[in-house]
Amino acid sequence: MDAIRYESPRSVAEAVRLMAADAGARVLAGGTDLLVQFRAGVRQPSAFVDVKRIPELMSIAIDDQGLRLGAAVPAAVIGEHAELRRLWPGLAESVRLIGSTQIQGRGSVGGNLCNGSPAADTTCALIVNRAQCVIAGPNGERTVPVDAFCIAPGRTVLQHGELLVAIRVPRPAARTSDAYLRLIPRTEMDIAVAGAGVSVTLDAAGVCTAARVAIGAVAPTALRVPGAEQALVGSPLDEASLRYAAEAASAAARPIDDRRGTAAYRRTVAGVLTRRAAALAAQRARQGTDRG
C-alpha cells in the first residue's frame, strides 16, 4: 500500500499539475469534511493537496464588479470582513452558520461547495446572489454558475485535474439585499434540516423587480424555486405574496427522510423559511444596503 502524500503547492499552476498527475489526490482546504471522511474510511485520498499557501485561494477582494472570494478562505475571515457583510448580509450569514467557532477557523466556502452536501449552508445564498465558480484546470480557467456546480450529493462538475479557486459574486444593484435562514434543532452545530436563501431587488416604490429563491437540504442539490420568484416579482412583498412564495417552495422541495428530519417536515419548513427569509431580505432592501 502506497503511503499517503502531503503536498503544499504555492501556485494554482502547481496545484493543477499535482491534481492532474494523480487521480486519487484530493484538495485540502479546511479539512472539516475531508478529514472526517478520511478518518471514517469513506474517502481514501492518495495525496492531500493543501491549497492554503496559494494566495489566490486565500484572498478576498471587492471592487466595482463585485466580490472575488478565494475558495479556501476560512469562514471566520469572511465573517470579519465588514464590507462583505454589508453588501451581502445573507451570504455572510450563511457562512457564519457553517459550524462552531472552531470549524469557522477552518471551513471554507469552496470546501462547502465542493463537498457537495445537499444541506450545505452557503449554496443557497450563493445561488441567489448569482455567484460564479472560477475553476482552474489543465486546459486553463473556466467559470460555471454556482447553481450548475453541484450535480448530485457529493458530486460536482469538477473534472480530473481541476480545482475550484475562487467564487465571484456580482455587486448587488441598488435596493437589493439577501437573507439566508436554516432550521436546526439545537442553536448551533447541527447540519441544516432545511435552508432557504432569498435575494430581492425593489424599485423606488417598494415593489419587487427581481427575486431569486433557493432552498437547501430538501433535494439532492440546492434548488432554485422559479415559482417562488414569480410570486415575489411585481409584488410589494406583502403577506400574501410571501405566502405564495412559501407554498411554491414547499411544492418544489423533493426531500427525503433521514436521521435529521422527515420528508414531510422538510417540505413544510422549506416554505416557512422561504417566507421568513424573503421578509428579512425585503426589510434589508428597504433599509438600503448600509448595514452596520
Partner 1 sequence: MAKLHIETTINGEPAEFLCDPHETLLSALRTGLGLTGTKEGCATGDCGACSILLEGRLVPACLVLAAEAQGRAMTTIEGLSRGDTLHPLQQKFLEHAALQCGICTPGFIVAAKALLDAKPNPTEEEVRYGLAGNLCRCTGYDKIIRAVLDAASEMKGTTA
Partner 2 sequence: MTAPREFKYVGTRPIRHDGVDKVTGRASYGADVAWPGMLHGVVLRSPHAHARIVKIDTRAAEATPGVHAVITARDLPETSAKIAIGEAAVDLRDIADNVMARTKVLYHGHAVAAVAATTLDIARRAAEAIAVVYEVLEPVMSVDRAIAAGAPILHPAMKTTGTPAADAGGATNVASRLELKRGDVDAGFAAADLVVEREFRTPMVHQGYIEPHACIARCGEDGRAVVWCTTQGPFFVRDASAAIAGLDPAHLKVIPSEIGGGFGGKIVVYLEPLALALSRKAQRPVKMVMGRDEVFRATGPTSGSRVRVKLGARRDGTLVAASASLWYEAGAYAGSPAGAGAMCALAAYKIPNFFIEAHDVVVNKPKVAAYRAPGSPIAAFAVESVVDEIARELKIDPIELRLRNANAEGDRAPYGPKYGPIGLTQVLEAARNHPHWRAPLGANQGRGVAVGFWFNAGMNSSATVTLNGDGSAAVVTGNPDIGGTRAAQAIMVAEELGIPVERVRSNVGDTDGSGYTDVTGGSRVCYATGMAVIRAAEDAREQLKARAATIWNVSREAVEWHDGRAVPPEGTEKAKPMTVAELAAEMTHTGGPIVGRASLYAPMAGPAFGAHICDLEVDPETGRSQVVRYTVFQDVGRAVHPSYVEGQMQGGAAQGIGWALNEAYVYSADGVMENAGFLDYRMPVASDLPMIETVMVEVANPLHPYGVRGVGEVPIVPPLAAVANAMRDATGIRFTELPLSPPRVLEAIEAADAVAVQA
Distances (CA, A) of 30 to 111, 159, 207, 236: 7, 21, 41, 42
Residue 256, contacted partner among partner 1, partner 2, none, CB below 5-8 A by kind? none
Q: Is 32 in the site for partner 1 (CB under 8 A)?
A: yes
**Residue 98 DSSP SS3:** coil
From 191, 211, 245, 282, residue interacting with partner 2 (rule: CB under 8 A) = 191
**Which one of residues 64, 185, 205, 292 is an interface residue with partner 2 (CB under 8 A)?**
185
Does the footprint of partner 1 cover residue 26 (CB under 8 A)? no
- Closest listed residue to residue 126, CA positions, set 141, 143, 113, 107: 113
157 near partner 1, rule: CB under 8 A: no
- Return the H-helix or E-strand segment holding 137: strand 132-137
60-62, strands of its sheet edge to edge: 60-62, 66-70, 163-170, 132-137, 140-145
Stretch that binds partner 1, among 18-26, 102-110, 229-237, 277-285 (CB under 8 A): 102-110
Cα separation values, 196 from 130, 246, 280, 281, Å? 15, 10, 12, 11
Of 235, 221, 223, whose CA–CA distance to 278 is shortest?
A: 235
**How distant, in Å, are the alpha carbons of 1, 114, 117, 223, 262 from that of 219?**
38, 17, 10, 7, 12
Q: Judge contact between 90 and 198, C-beta under 8 A.
A: yes
**Which stretch, 83-91, 127-135, 139-147, 187-195, contacts partner 2 (CB under 8 A)?**
187-195
- Binding of partner 1 by 259 (CB under 8 A): no
Interface pick for partner 1 out of 9, 15, 26, 48 (rule CB under 8 A):
48
Q: 260-279: which residues touch partner 2 (CB under 8 A)?
A: 260-262, 264-265, 268-269, 272
Residue 59, SS3? coil
Residues 154-183 binding partner 2 (CB under 8 A) are 183
Using the rule CB under 8 A, is 188 a contact of partner 1? yes
Q: Which residues bind partner 2 (CB under 8 A)?
A: 1, 183, 185-191, 193, 259-262, 264-265, 268-269, 272
* Residues forming the site for partner 1 (CB under 8 A): 3-6, 8, 28, 30-32, 35-36, 38-39, 48, 50, 52, 74, 76, 99-106, 187-189
